[in-house]
Structure 1
Amino acid sequence: MTAPGAVRWQTWSGTVRCTPASLVTPTSEDEIVRAIRAAGERGLPVRAAGSGHSFNALACTEGILLDLSRYRGVHSVDAAAGEVTVRGGTTVGELAETLDRHGLALANIGTLAEQTVAGAVSTGNHGSGLAHAPLSSQIIRLRLITAAGAVRTLDAESSPDEFRCARTALGTLGILSTVTLRCVPQFRLRVSQRTEPLDAVLDGFTAWAAEADHVAFSWLPWQDRAGLRALHVTPALPSRDAVRRRYATTIDEVRCGLIGLAGRADARAVPWLKGRSLLPARPPAEYVDASHRVFTFPQPVKFLALEHALPLDTTADALRALRRTLRRTGAYSPYSVLVRVGAGDDAPLSPAYGRRTGYVNLTVPRTAGQVELLRAIEPVLRDHGGRPHWGKAHTATAEVLAPRYPEWELFQQVRAALDPTGMFASDYTDRVLGPVRIPAELSTLTLAAPIRDGG
Structure 2
Amino acid sequence: MAWRTAVIASLALLVVGVAAQGTNYKCRMGPDASHAACGLPFELANFQGNFECNDATKVGRPANIADLQALVALYPRVKASGVGHSWWKEQFCSGNDTRSVNVVLTEQKAVLDFMGAPTDPQQWVGRQVPADFPVQVNEADEEVTVAAGVTQRVLLDYLSEYKYWKQRSGWTLPAFSWFLDQTIGGAISTATHGSTMKYGSLSAQLRRLKMVLANGTLLELSPKTNPHLFMAAGAAVGRLGVVTEVTLKIKPQQAIQRRLQELSFEQFAKQIKDTQDAYVQAKQANDVDAMRRALFQVDETQVFWALPTSSVQRVDYEHLDHEPLAVMLNAMPSGEPMVQAMSGPEDDAYKQVEKKAVAANSRMTLNSRFWSNLYVTQLRNKVAPGTFESRKAFLSMSDSETQTTSTFAPYDQYEVVIPIDRAGSCLMEVGKEVYGNDKLWEGARTPFLVRFVTEEDLYLSPTTDGPAMYINLEDYVTRSSNSPNLQFQRIMQLFRQRCGARLHWGKAGWPQHAKCFKGSVEYPTTWCHFGCAVMELDPTGKFNSEWDGWKWQATQGGKPVPYSACCTSKGFSPACTCAPRTDC
Same fold, judged at TM 0.5 (above): yes
Per-residue deviation, 1:286? 1.4
Residue 412 of structure 1 is matched in structure 2 by 531
Gap runs ≥5 in structure 1: 236-256, 450-455
Q: Secondary structure at the match of 1:76?
A: strand
1:399 partner letter: F
2:473 partner letter: L
Give the one of 221, 229, 243 matched to 2:315. 229
Residues 83-94 of structure 1 mapped to structure 2, 5 A cutoff: 83-94=143-154
Q: Secondary structure at the match of 2:319?
A: strand
CA displacement, residues 120-172 of structure 1 (integer Å, 9 cap, x when unaligned): 01111000022231110011111121101111111111211110000011101
Give the one of 355, 364, 375 matched to 2:466. 355
Does residue 381 (structure 1) correspond to residue 495 (structure 2)? The answer is: yes
Residue 243 of structure 1 is matched in structure 2 by none
Q: 1:278 to 1:401 in 2, by over 3 A?
A: closer
Task: Tell me, in whole angstroms, the C-alpha distance in 2 between the residues paired with 1:272 and 1:29.
Answer: 49
Q: Secondary structure at the match of 2:199?
A: coil
| TM superposition score normalised by structure 1 | 0.83
Q: 1:286 to 1:93 in 2, by over 3 A?
A: same
Per-residue deviation, 1:424? 0.6
Residues 143-222 of structure 1 mapped to structure 2, 5 A cutoff: 143-205=210-272, 207=275, 210-211=296-297, 213-222=299-308
Q: Secondary structure at the match of 1:306?
A: strand
| TM superposition score normalised by structure 2 | 0.66
CA displacement, residues 54-88 of structure 1 (integer Å, 9 cap, x when unaligned): 11112213311101112336342110001111111
Task: Tell me, in whole angstroms, the C-alpha distance in 1 between the residues paired with 2:229 and 2:222.
Answer: 8
Q: Secondary structure at the match of 1:161?
A: helix
Residues 120-159 of structure 1 mapped to structure 2, 5 A cutoff: 120-159=187-226
Higher mean Cα deviation, 148-157 or 69-78? 69-78
Give the one of 67, 75, 81 matched to 2:141. 81
Residue 287 of structure 2 is matched in structure 1 by none
Larger strand share, 1 or 2: 1
Higher mean Cα deviation, 313-322 or 348-357? 313-322
Task: Tell me, in whole angstroms, the C-alpha distance in 1 between the residues paired with 2:564 and 2:261.
Answer: 54
Q: 1:158 to 1:47 in 2, by over 3 A?
A: same
Query: Is the CA contact 2:298–2:452 (under 8 Å) kept in the aligned structure 1?
Result: no
Query: Is the CA contact 2:135–2:155 (under 8 Å) kept in the aligned structure 1?
Result: no
2:438 partner letter: T
Task: Tell me, in whole angstroms, the C-alpha distance in 1 between the residues paired with 2:207 and 2:145.
Answer: 9
Task: Tell me, in whole angstroms, the C-alpha distance in 1 between the residues paired with 2:375 and 2:463.
Answer: 37
Per-residue deviation, 1:204? 2.2
Q: Secondary structure at the match of 1:361?
A: strand
Return the index of the structure with the highest Cα Rg. 2
Task: Tell me, in whole angstroms, the C-alpha distance in 1 between the residues paired with 2:49 and 2:318.
Answer: 36
Task: Tell me, in whole angstroms, the C-alpha distance in 2 between the residues paired with 1:386 and 1:424.
Answer: 26
Query: Is the CA contact 1:341–1:359 (under 8 Å) kept in the aligned structure 2?
Result: yes
Query: Is the CA contact 1:141–1:153 (under 8 Å) kept in the aligned structure 2?
Result: yes
1:296 partner letter: S
Query: Is the CA contact 1:344–1:354 (under 8 Å) kept in the aligned structure 2?
Result: yes
Per-residue deviation, 1:313? 2.0
Q: 1:274 to 1:353 in 2, by over 3 A?
A: closer
Higher mean Cα deviation, 65-74 or 175-184? 65-74
Per-residue deviation, 1:190? 2.3
Residues 40-119 of structure 1 mapped to structure 2, 5 A cutoff: 44-57=76-89, 58-61=91-94, 62=96, 63-71=100-108, 72=111, 74-102=134-162, 103-119=170-186
Query: Is the CA contact 1:90–1:116 (under 8 Å) kept in the aligned structure 2?
Result: yes
Number of positions where the alignment pairs a residue of Structure 1 with one of Structure 2: 417
Residue 252 of structure 1 is matched in structure 2 by none
Task: Tell me, in whole angstroms, the C-alpha distance in 2 between the residues paired with 1:400 and 1:260.
Answer: 37
Task: Tell me, in whole angstroms, the C-alpha distance in 2 between the residues paired with 1:379 and 1:423.
Answer: 33
Per-residue deviation, 1:96? 1.1
2:79 partner letter: R
Q: 1:273 to 1:216 in 2, by over 3 A?
A: closer
Report the aligned-residue RMSD.
3.1
Q: 1:210 to 1:260 in 2, by over 3 A?
A: farther
Residue 506 of structure 2 is matched in structure 1 by 391
Task: Tell me, in whole angstroms, the C-alpha distance in 2 between the residues paired with 1:360 and 1:230.
Answer: 16
Per-residue deviation, 1:29? 1.3
Higher mean Cα deviation, 434-443 or 128-137? 434-443
Per-residue deviation, 1:400? 4.0
Residue 543 of structure 2 is matched in structure 1 by 424
Give the one of 532, 553, 564 matched to 1:442. 564
Gap runs ≥5 in structure 2: 1-13, 20-41, 112-132, 163-169, 276-293, 322-357, 555-559, 572-584
